[in-house]
Amino acid sequence: LGILIAGHLKRLERVILGYLEVSDGPEEEARLGILETLQCTIEHAWPRMPCRLPVLLKALLKMLWDVHTDQSSTPEPVKAALLQGATECLILLDRCSEGQVKVLLEGVYSSCEENRVRECIRKVRENT
């Protein structure tokens, strides 16, 4: 859809949030696909993303934490792909919001003690 996606952002946001919240089994195909969809959406509709930042940031951080604490049979490469996809989305959100994500993640980074989550946040903070 390209920039035409902007006309569907409200509905698409609900779909993205729903898929990010729920694990869909060991291969996590739906979550990986929705992260790719979110990346494309941010790239095409970047002027509209700053107002959606609080909701998307919260959902991505929650998903990072859920993946990190997941005790199911999800293979490590799949978990790593999910963490990478979420990190890439956070970097894109930071770029289109002129650094707001980095500012908001300061407190999370300083209070988080989990290395995998901290590593994702560090990548966002160091990306220019």
The pTM of the full predicted model, rounded to 2 decimals, is: 0.93
Amino acid at 61: L
Query: What is the C-alpha separation between 49 and 29, in angstroms, rounded?
Result: 25
67-75 contacts, C-beta under 8 A, 24 or more apart: 68/114, 68/116, 68/117, 70/23, 72/23, 72/26, 73/26, 74/23, 74/25, 74/26, 74/27, 74/28, 75/26
- Does the pLDDT value for residue 128 go beyond 70? no
What's the average model confidence in pLDDT over 69-82? 92
Query: What is the C-alpha separation between 106 and 30, in angstroms, rounded?
Result: 30
Residue for token pair 């729903």? 18
Sign of CA dihedral 20, 31, 116, 95: negative
Query: What is the C-alpha separation between 57 and 39, in angstroms, rounded?
Result: 13
What is the per-residue pLDDT across 18-46, written as a single tens digit (0 to 9) for each? 999 999 989 999 999 999 999 999 999 99
- Does the pLDDT value for residue 1 go beyond 70? no
